[in-house]
A and B are shown apart, each in its own frame.
Chain A
């Protein structure tokens, strides 16, 4: 899976914000906030990734078990999908 190009990640202090650009503004008026893990996954999704790729990167970066990482990634990816943020 890969992220849509119609959002840009911006940061203000420690806040990570996904801002819709171009025509996407019509569907997503406002901003979406991401926590640190979610922002990390969003960065990785610039390239095509599988759940396992993402979970491995999360387990490595945040020192959590692979099982925990898979569950975090699945729930985040579901939310991305529901909000129309994936291609």
Chain B
């Protein structure tokens, strides 16, 4: 018998590998709502809190719990609850509470701005294994330039404090855009101040629902992005060790092999970025939806001839989702990824 703490990450990867071999849906994401109290320009999903068309399509707590029950029977162990912003849902705890007794390792994604003392108290009664709080800046001006909501920085700080005070396992994850890139160090410092783990991501995807997006003004230039990446020894090791893309598989992630996403309408999809195949879990049940997702992933096109021939493919993260979101078809190169891959090659090969 052993308790996993230090080697937790390695063990989780091992479980994912085993699950993928058995086609077991080990890791699920429930996108409980598409609505959010922020209006970030780089967001791939967010709709206004008052969006009544979205509200009527959201699932009830009973349906989410039934989906979780069926998912558990098929082998789900890791469950991420995300949005939009989960705490805009008045019935969030009606969904969350029963899930905490079902034997899942639950994570929550939130911006923490709606986490009051009373919400933090309720979370502390049956805590998730982890809460990841998104961070958009290290001061009021920058944070609120991104979120476009006055008062949101202060509320976020109070929310984080409330969680930390109750010893809930919190991590901070910064989304890096052109608006806040200069504050990366300052955000890291904030995490250190609370003694919290910190991650940062800068690879921004387009909206999948076809609604207008301001992604071009938010994305970092390849040189800015790779300068940040190069300071992370794990990322450098991964890219210099052969990269992530497989020339024989279409998706290199665990989508449709060990992971899935269910959106706020109950549609099961490849990942949060890629809303396909949209198998309706409430109508056909979890197992059939999972089979449909597996068939979709198996049938998706492999790499295009152009990508197969590419001399920087080991520095690229191309996948059918990216091709689809950028160019409308599931194979083919993506300009932004090409420029990033070339920048990686330039930087990492000159370091050798």
A→B interface (CB under 8 Å): 8, 10, 12-15, 17, 19, 21-23, 25-26, 28-35, 38, 76, 79-80, 83
Contacts and interface: CB of A to CB of B under 8 A. Distances in A.
A12 B77 contact: yes
A80 B1 CA distance: 9
A31 B2 CA distance: 9
A10 B1 CA distance: 14
Interface string B11-29: 1001100110110101000
A76 B3 contact: no
A19 B26 CA distance: 14
B126 A12 contact: no
Given A15-B15, A19-B105, A26 B77 contact: no
B196 interface: no
B22 A13 contact: yes
> 4 closest pairs, A vs B, by CB?
A8-B103, A13-B18, A22-B126, A25-B127
B167 A26 contact: yes
Nearest to A33: B2
B122 to A, nearest CB: 12
B63 interface: no
A30 B126 contact: no
A30 B1 contact: no
Interface of B: 1-5, 8, 11, 14-15, 18-19, 21-22, 24, 26, 75, 77, 100-105, 124-129, 167, 169
B100 A21 contact: yes
Nearest to A22: B126
Given A12-B18, A12-B26, A13-B19, A23 B3 contact: no
Nearest to A32: B3
Nearest to B21: A13
Contacts of A29: 129, 169
B77 A38 contact: no
A6 to B, nearest CB: 9
Contacts of A19: 77, 103-105
Contact of A31 (B105, B126, B167): B105
Given A13-B22, A22-B101, A35 B1 contact: yes
Contacts of B18: 12-15
Contacts of A14: 18
A37 B134 CA distance: 42
Contact of B3 (A8, A35, A83): A83
A30 B129 contact: yes
A6 B274 CA distance: 37
12 contacts: A10-B103, A12-B19, A12-B75, A12-B77, A13-B19, A15-B18, A19-B104, A22-B101, A26-B124, A33-B11, A34-B1, A83-B1
A21 B126 CA distance: 8
A32 B4 contact: yes
A28 B126 contact: no
Contacts of B101: 21-22
Contacts of B124: 26
Given A28-B3, A30-B8, A23 B129 contact: no
A64 B104 CA distance: 35
Most A CB atoms within 10 A — which of B22, B26, B103? B103
Most B CB atoms within 10 A — which of A22, A35, A80? A22
A42 to B, nearest CB: 9
